[in-house]
Structure 1
Amino acid sequence: MRFRILYLLLLQFSYYGLFAQNHSIHFKAIAFFTGKNDLAHISFVHEANKWFSEMSKQHHFSFDSTSDWSKLNDTVLSAYQVVIFLDTRPDSIPQREAFRRYMEKGGAWMGFHFSAFALTPSAYPQNWDWYHNDFLGSGEYDGNTWRPTAAMLKVEDGKHPVTKGVPAVWKSAPNEWYKWTKDLRRNAAIRILLSIDSSSFPLGTGPKPQEIWHSGYYPVAWTNTKYRMVYFNMGHNDMDYEHGTNKELSATFGNKVQNKCILQSLLWLGKIKRFNLSE
């Protein structure tokens, strides 16, 4: 009887040990944001922080978020496997240098929408060549669609973990879409994952003619093979500016296929080798 009780206790401890191991934290992610000025970007930041926090519980990674960009330093970054830029980029030289060191030493990064924005002259000039030309490869911002509208997106690389199990063509959440000065197809280091499908045209409603796209090639998600990174152009919710209510009219994370791409991207960046996400 004594041996039977001992055996059962050992089984119980083994079970709890296995349970704890299976539910341990796989990696740590930290998101940086500014959350000022454009209400559409602020809306996205609030939504993203909530969504990533929920995903962290379901997929066993830790998620921290901060608007304190001074934490973008060697000491803090050394504790995280993935860094996320939700809306802007760092502007101070020490922060930029710390981020570059982090990436060149094998760190991982995910960026959204405005984090790639650069326009000279503007409040966010192109004054960081490594980030915009080498790391992102896109160069400066060169225009956008308006209003924020959904687009049909085409998978350009179905073999990449980010696009695994994703339909060849699918409808995105509403977004303000950017175009860039550099043609990413000409950069051998860039692996384009998603682009706007031609069935989307005309894309945008204006009122300015240049805010309605009728043709062209527009990448909206890509990775640079020299680094462990993924950029998504999504991140601008539709807002009721015209009637003064500033009400949110769309949700970036209200689209299951888009969410799957973002989550698979994060798990890939966190070096989770096997994941099978349901639709």
Structure 2
Amino acid sequence: MKQNLTHNLLSKAVVIFMLMLCVMQASAQKPKFKVIAFYTGKDDLAHVSFVHEANQWFPRMAAKYKFSYDSTANWNNMNAAFLAQYQVILFLDTRPEQPEQRAAFEIFMRNGGSWMGFHFSAFALTPSAFNQDWDWYHNEFIGAGQYGSNTWRPTSAVLRVEDKKHPATKGLPATFKSAPNEWYRWEKDLTKNPDIDILLAIDSTSFPLGTGPKQHEIWHSGYYPVAWSNKNYNMVYVNMGHNDMDYEHKYDKTNKTLSHTFDSEGASQFIMNGLIWLGSKKKATQ
């Protein structure tokens, strides 16, 4: 009897230990948060280059910082059932175009979901292939309104930290150099919007910015926000995401990338700081 009792107790202890081990392993393997990146990856060589770069860089960061990263070019996945799996959405190049996709994204954000958008994801210009036909997204959420103009050719800039207390700028120097980029100017003055927290801006030491050949593509002065957050949402917009390309030989179809956005240590740290901050936000139960 005693031997059987001892055997049973030992068996139960082994089972309990194995269960605890399984729970601990599952807990250790569970990602801190889940990211889904949407992209189109067509037409503009520089935007396609950035999409490829991002879809290689973010998985490496996911392994390092213990989050999960998925990506999709299927914008029909912008629906409640699919988005429920994730805490953070990335727009790598474009935006959703269909009304039902836009509605699903807005609901996701209003329910406490998180978003980070890059460069062209904020573009809108009427008339163009990307009309300003989504007021909530461009005017309220991002806050910049329509595209105004841009620098050319893609060039590096010295970026200045505007909000040193924001989690996205933690550990950054006061200024740092970006990789080459096409920089945007916007319709609306973000400094007059109390909901917008400007995180990075172009430092005056960057001027003249751009090489032309058109004179209006070279900026000599002014205030140009580069990255910001909206205090009413869990979001960060980053104007970077347009690599320099071998445009002179584009008709030879070399499509050679001449720069990479994540080669800038400061920009990479800012983006990861921002992503980790967004991933820490709690989404409402849907």
Is the contact made by 1:133 and 1:139 (CA closer than 8 Å) also made in structure 2? yes
Per-residue deviation at 1:12? 9.4
After superposition, the Cα gap between the structure-2 partners of 1:9 and 1:166, relative to the gap in structure 1 and judged at 3 Å, is: farther
Deviations 1:50-81 (A, max 9, x none): 11111111111111100000000111111110
Identify the residue that residue 267 of structure 1 maps to in structure 2.
276
Per-residue deviation at 1:126? 0.4
SS where residue 253 of structure 1 aligns?
helix
1:240-255 to 2 correspondences below 5 Å: 240-244=246-250, 245-255=254-264
- Answer yes or no: is 1:190 the counterpart of 2:196: yes
Match of 1:42 among 37, 48, 69: 48
Identify the residue that residue 121 of structure 1 maps to in structure 2.
127
SS where residue 243 of structure 1 aligns?
helix
Identify the residue that residue 146 of structure 1 maps to in structure 2.
152
Identify the residue that residue 176 of structure 1 maps to in structure 2.
182
Deviations 1:172-214 (A, max 9, x none): 1110000101000100000000000000000000000111000
Identify the residue that residue 3 of structure 2 maps to in structure 1.
none
Deviations 1:67-106 (A, max 9, x none): 0000001111111100000000011000001100110011
Per-residue deviation at 1:7? 10
Moved over 4 A (4+): 6-20
Is the contact made by 2:159 and 2:175 (CA closer than 8 Å) also made in structure 1? yes
Match of 1:58 among 64, 68, 79: 64
Per-residue deviation at 1:243? 2.7
Query: How far apart, CA to CA, are the structure 1 residues paired with 2:79 and 2:22?
Result: 37
Root mean square deviation of aligned Cα:
2.2
Query: How far apart, CA to CA, are the structure 1 residues paired with 2:25 and 2:170?
Result: 28
Is the contact made by 1:26 and 1:272 (CA closer than 8 Å) also made in structure 2? no
Query: How far apart, CA to CA, are the structure 1 residues paired with 2:223 and 2:245?
Result: 26
Query: How far apart, CA to CA, are the structure 2 residues paired with 1:114 and 1:47?
Result: 15
Is the contact made by 1:27 and 1:61 (CA closer than 8 Å) also made in structure 2? yes
Identify the residue that residue 277 of structure 1 maps to in structure 2.
none
Q: Percent identity?
A: 60
Long gaps (5+) in structure 2:
1-6
Identify the residue that residue 237 of structure 2 maps to in structure 1.
231
TM-score (norm 2): 0.89
Match of 1:164 among 167, 170, 182: 170
SS where residue 223 of structure 1 aligns?
strand
TM-score (norm 1): 0.91
Deviations 1:90-141 (A, max 9, x none): 1100000110011001110000000000011100010000000000000000
Identify the residue that residue 276 of structure 1 maps to in structure 2.
none
SS where residue 57 of structure 1 aligns?
helix
Identify the residue that residue 115 of structure 2 maps to in structure 1.
109
Is the contact made by 2:210 and 2:218 (CA closer than 8 Å) also made in structure 1? yes
More helix by share: 2
Per-residue deviation at 1:223? 0.3
Is the contact made by 2:94 and 2:121 (CA closer than 8 Å) also made in structure 1? yes
My pick for the range that moved more, 240-249 or 12-21, is 12-21
Is the contact made by 1:82 and 1:270 (CA closer than 8 Å) also made in structure 2? yes
Is the contact made by 2:156 and 2:178 (CA closer than 8 Å) also made in structure 1? yes
Per-residue deviation at 1:22? 3.9
After superposition, the Cα gap between the structure-2 partners of 1:50 and 1:195, relative to the gap in structure 1 and judged at 3 Å, is: same
- Answer yes or no: is 1:81 the counterpart of 2:87: yes
Query: How far apart, CA to CA, are the structure 2 residues paired with 1:14 and 1:59?
Result: 25
